[in-house]
Structure 1
Amino acid sequence: MFKRQLVLEDGTSFIGKGFGSDRQISGEVVFNTGMTGYQEILSDPSYCGQLVTMTYPLIGNYGINRDDFESITPSVHGLIVKEACDSPSNYRSEETLDRFLKAHDIPGLAGIDTRKLTRLIRNHGTMRGLFTSADHPVTDALQLLEQQKVFSNHVERVSTVKPYVVPGRGRRIVLVDFGMKHGILRELTKRNCHITVVPYHYSAEKIRRLKPEGVMLSNGPGDPKHVQLAIQMIKEIISDIPIFGICLGHQLIALACGANTEKLRFGHRGSNHPVKDLQTGKTVMTSQNHGYTVTKESLADTDLELTQIALNDGTVEGLTHIRFPTFSVQYHPESSPGPEDTYQLFDRFIANIDAHIPAENKEEERCQSVLI
C-alpha cells in the first residue's frame, strides 16, 4: 500500500493508506451505515460520482464474488474505510477488495478515522472531496478541487445506451433505466415478466409503441430535476399505464405530479432504515441510498397521497396517486443489500396491472391459457 490523502472542500484533510487504483479523483463524500453488502454498494449505479465512506470498521473480510453485483461496471468514484481486509475468508470469495478496485480503476483510502469523517458530514452536510497524494499541499488540492467540473449528468452516464429485452411470458413491463440495480430485474423475472429495458430519455411515444402493461421507473444517481425528459414522459403516460417508481423514480413521479424535491443534509444510505406505513401502522426495515427527498409540504396541491414516512426524520418514503394506478417508494424493495421486508411491492405492481387490464383482454388471456 501507499499513502493517500483525502482533502475536503472545507479544508479538512485525512492521510491514510491508499489501495485499489492510484489515480487522483474527486467526488461527493457520503457515508453508508451498512455492516455488510459492500460489494452491492460498490456496484450500485446510484453511487455514481461519489466517494463512499463505510461506517462499519472492517470492509473486504468476505471478499468479492460473482453473484452479488448490482451492475456490470461500478460507477462509484472511490471507497473510504477504516480497515481494508487483505485476506478474506468466505467460500464464495474469488478476489480481494483491493484487486477488485484495481481492476475497475477505483481508488480506495484506508486507515483514517471514519468516525470523525462521518461526524463532519453529519454536522456540515455532504461535501466534495479529492483523493490525492499524501504530500500534495492542502491549499493546492483545494484549488484543484474548485477547478474540477461538477457533473450533473450522472443518469446519462449510468443508463443503458440502447433498449434490450429480458424475455418472459408474463406481464409486459417497460423498465426505464436511470441507473438500475440488477435486483429490480431479479424481482420482475421472478414474476415471469417480459421486460424491455430502455434508456432514461425514452419518450412517451416510444414507450407506448412497446405496448407495455406496466412501467417501472428505476433508481439512479443525482438530482431528479436534472432528468427533465423523464419528467415530461411520466406526465404523458401516467393516466394510461400503471407505474411503479423506486428511489429516483419515486422522486420523478412526484415532480411530474407537481410536487417538489430538495437535497437532504447528508442523505439516507444504509440497510436498516425504519419506515412506517401510514395506512397499516406497521413499520418495516428498508435499504436506502438517496441524497434527495420529496418535499412533504409540496404534496398539498397534488393528486399524490403520502403513504409512508421515514421514522428517523419524518421524510417522505411512499406515495400513491389518488386517480391513477401509480405508486412509488423512496427506499429499495429489491434490497441487495438489506432486509427483504418489502418484496411484496412488486406483487402490488403486478396486481395494479391486472386490475387495469380491460375485461375482454383478460378473457382472451384465459382462453389462450386453456388452449396451452
Structure 2
Amino acid sequence: MKKKLILENGTVFVGETFGSESTAFGEVVFHSGMTGYQEILSDPTYCGQIVVLTYPLVGNYGINRDDFESITPAINGLIVKEATDFPSNWRSEMTLDEYCKMKNIPGIAGIDTRKLTRIIRDHGTLKGIICHFNEKDQDVLERIRATEIRHEQVKQVSTKTAYPSPGRGRRIIVVDFGMKHGILRELNERGCDVVVVPYDTSANEILQLNPDGILLTNGPGNPKDVTEGIQMIKEVVGKVPLFGIGLGHQLFALACGAETIKMKFGHRGSSHPTKDLLTGKVLFTSQNHGFLVDADSITNTRLEITHIALNDGTVEGLKHKDFNAFSVQFHPEASPGSEDAVSLFHQFIEMIEIAKQGETTHAKA
C-alpha cells in the first residue's frame, strides 16, 4: 500500500507503508547511525517526532527482547529507505514491520532518505505528516501548518509514580524526564540503590528520600517547558551531588542561570566526536537533542564548560564551580553507539563517595 510523507514546506515523498496504517504527525528529524533502530524506536526522547534513518537498510537484524530503551514507544513515525522483510540474527524475534504494527507506529519506506535529510539540513527541522496516498496534498499541508508541536512531551513519557530498583550501594534518586533504560542499567551494574521519581517531584520530596546523589535523565522537548524540574534543581544544587544527562543537562544549565536555544536540525547519531576539555581526550558519543546550552550565557554563571562538540563547537558538558554537580549533553550509556563515555557513571559515584568522606570528616571534627 502506498503512503505519502508531506512536509510543511510543501515537499511530497511517495513510498510504501510498513507498520501501522494510521497517519502520523510530528517534527521530522534524522538520525545518522548505522545501527540501533530498536533503541531509537523505544527512546522516549523521540516523543512527538517522526525519525528519518539515514542508513539505507533498516531491520536487517530484526527486533529482540533485550535492546529496548522503554516499554512503550513514544515515537510518532519512522521513515526508511528500505525495510527488511527477512531479518537474520540469532536474537531476532520479529520483524521491524511486525513490531511497528504491534506498537501502532506508522512507517514509510522506499523514499529517497538522502534527499529528505538534505532538506532538513538546509531548512531545519520541519513538521510533517505520514498519510494515505489518496489524501489531497493541499488539505494535508493546511493541517500541518495549522497544527502546533505539543509542549507536554515530558509529562507524557515520565513515570507516573515513584518506584525502586534496589541495590546495596549508594542511594541514587533518578528524576525521570523520559529515561532510557540504559541509564538504569548502568546504575544497577554499579550496585546503586535506585529510586526513580516522576519529573514533577519537588525538591522536598526528593530530599526526604535521603539521597546520596541525584541523576537527571534525558527527555524530549523544549527544556524551558519543564518549569517543575528547573525549580527542583535550583533547590537541590549544592545539597546533594548531581549528574545531568541530555535534557537533564539543559535543565541543570537553566537552573544555574544559563540559557538554552533551539538548534537548526539537532544532533542525532551514534558517533558524534566530543572533546573533554579537562583531559584533552576525544570521545565518540551517542546524541539525541534538538536544543543546546548557549555558550555565551555561561559567562555570568558559576558553570564551567567541560566538553564541546568537535563538529560545531557547541556545549556538550558543564560542571559547577562551587558544588558537586556536572552534566553532559550526550548519552554516556550509549544504546545505540559508542561507550567511550560510560566512565562518567563511575565519576558520578566517585564524586558521591568523596562528598560522603567529607561529611564524615566534618562530623568527627
TM-score calculated relative to the size of structure 1: 0.96
Provide the residue aligned with 1:81 in structure 2: 80
Q: Indicate yes or no: 2:48 matched with 1:49.
A: yes
Worse overlay, 90-99 or 134-143: 134-143
Q: Indicate yes or no: 2:236 matched with 1:257.
A: no
Cα distance, 1:253 vs structure 2:
0.4
Provide the residue aligned with 1:302 in structure 2: 301
Q: Which runs of structure 1 show a deviation greater than 3 angstroms over 4 or more consecutive aligned residues?
A: 358-364
Q: Indicate yes or no: 2:175 matched with 1:176.
A: yes
CA distance in 2 between partners of 1:318 and 1:173 (Å) = 21
CA distance in 2 between partners of 1:64 and 1:362 (Å) = 51
CA distance 1:362–1:192, shift in 2 (3 Å): farther
Cα distance, 1:362 vs structure 2:
8.3
Provide the residue aligned with 1:317 in structure 2: 316
**One-letter code of the match for 1:158?**
V
CA distance in 2 between partners of 1:359 and 1:228 (Å) = 32
Q: Indicate yes or no: 2:20 matched with 1:26.
A: no
CA distance in 1 between partners of 2:304 and 2:111 (Å) = 44
1:155-304 counterparts in 2 under 5 A? 155-304=154-303
Cα distance, 1:45 vs structure 2:
0.3
Cα distance, 1:112 vs structure 2:
0.2
Gaps of at least 5 residues in structure 1 are: 365-372
Secondary structure of residue in 1 paired with 2:70? coil
CA distance 1:360–1:326, shift in 2 (3 Å): closer
Secondary structure of residue in 1 paired with 2:353? helix
**One-letter code of the match for 1:242?**
P
Cα deviations by residue, 1:39-68 (Å, 9 ceiling, x for unpaired): 001000000000000000000000000000
Cα deviations by residue, 1:146-166 (Å, 9 ceiling, x for unpaired): 333421000000000000000
Secondary structure of residue in 1 paired with 2:280? coil
Secondary structure of residue in 2 paired with 1:357? helix
CA distance in 2 between partners of 1:179 and 1:83 (Å) = 29
Gaps of at least 5 residues in structure 2 are: none
Provide the residue aligned with 1:109 in structure 2: 108
Secondary structure of residue in 1 paired with 2:90? coil
Secondary structure of residue in 1 paired with 2:330? coil
Indicate conservation of the 8 Å contact 2:27/2:149, yes or no. Answer: no
Cα deviations by residue, 1:70-96 (Å, 9 ceiling, x for unpaired): 000111000000000000000000000
Provide the residue aligned with 1:346 in structure 2: 345
Q: Indicate yes or no: 2:144 matched with 1:145.
A: yes
Q: CA RMSD in A?
A: 1.2
Q: Indicate yes or no: 2:76 matched with 1:69.
A: no
CA distance 1:255–1:360, shift in 2 (3 Å): closer
CA distance in 2 between partners of 1:344 and 1:359 (Å) = 23
CA distance 1:360–1:131, shift in 2 (3 Å): closer
**One-letter code of the match for 1:40?**
E
CA distance in 1 between partners of 2:170 and 2:287 (Å) = 27
Cα distance, 1:280 vs structure 2:
1.4
Cα deviations by residue, 1:100-145 (Å, 9 ceiling, x for unpaired): 0000000000000000000000000000001111121211001122
CA distance in 1 between partners of 2:13 and 2:361 (Å) = 62
Secondary structure of residue in 1 paired with 2:120? helix
- In the comparison of the two structures, how many residue pairs are matched? 363
Secondary structure of residue in 2 paired with 1:92? coil
Give the % identical residues.
60
**One-letter code of the match for 1:110?**
A
Provide the residue aligned with 1:118 in structure 2: 117
Secondary structure of residue in 1 paired with 2:164? strand
Provide the residue aligned with 2:327 in structure 1: 328
CA distance in 2 between partners of 1:363 and 1:305 (Å) = 27
CA distance in 2 between partners of 1:106 and 1:313 (Å) = 33
CA distance in 1 between partners of 2:196 and 2:171 (Å) = 11
CA distance in 2 between partners of 1:125 and 1:360 (Å) = 49
CA distance in 2 between partners of 1:324 and 1:362 (Å) = 18
Provide the residue aligned with 1:355 in structure 2: 354
CA distance in 1 between partners of 2:250 and 2:40 (Å) = 21
Cα distance, 1:336 vs structure 2:
0.3
**One-letter code of the match for 1:13?**
V
Cα distance, 1:360 vs structure 2:
6.5
**One-letter code of the match for 2:281?**
K
TM-score calculated relative to the size of structure 2: 0.98
Worse overlay, 300-309 or 353-362: 353-362
CA distance in 2 between partners of 1:299 and 1:363 (Å) = 32
Cα deviations by residue, 1:320-340 (Å, 9 ceiling, x for unpaired): 100000000000000000011
CA distance in 2 between partners of 1:292 and 1:216 (Å) = 20
CA distance in 1 between partners of 2:72 and 2:132 (Å) = 26
Secondary structure of residue in 1 paired with 2:94? coil
CA distance in 1 between partners of 2:78 and 2:278 (Å) = 39
CA distance in 1 between partners of 2:9 and 2:135 (Å) = 16
CA distance in 2 between partners of 1:47 and 1:125 (Å) = 17
CA distance in 1 between partners of 2:145 and 2:156 (Å) = 22
**One-letter code of the match for 2:194?**
I
CA distance in 2 between partners of 1:164 and 1:72 (Å) = 15
**One-letter code of the match for 2:326?**
F
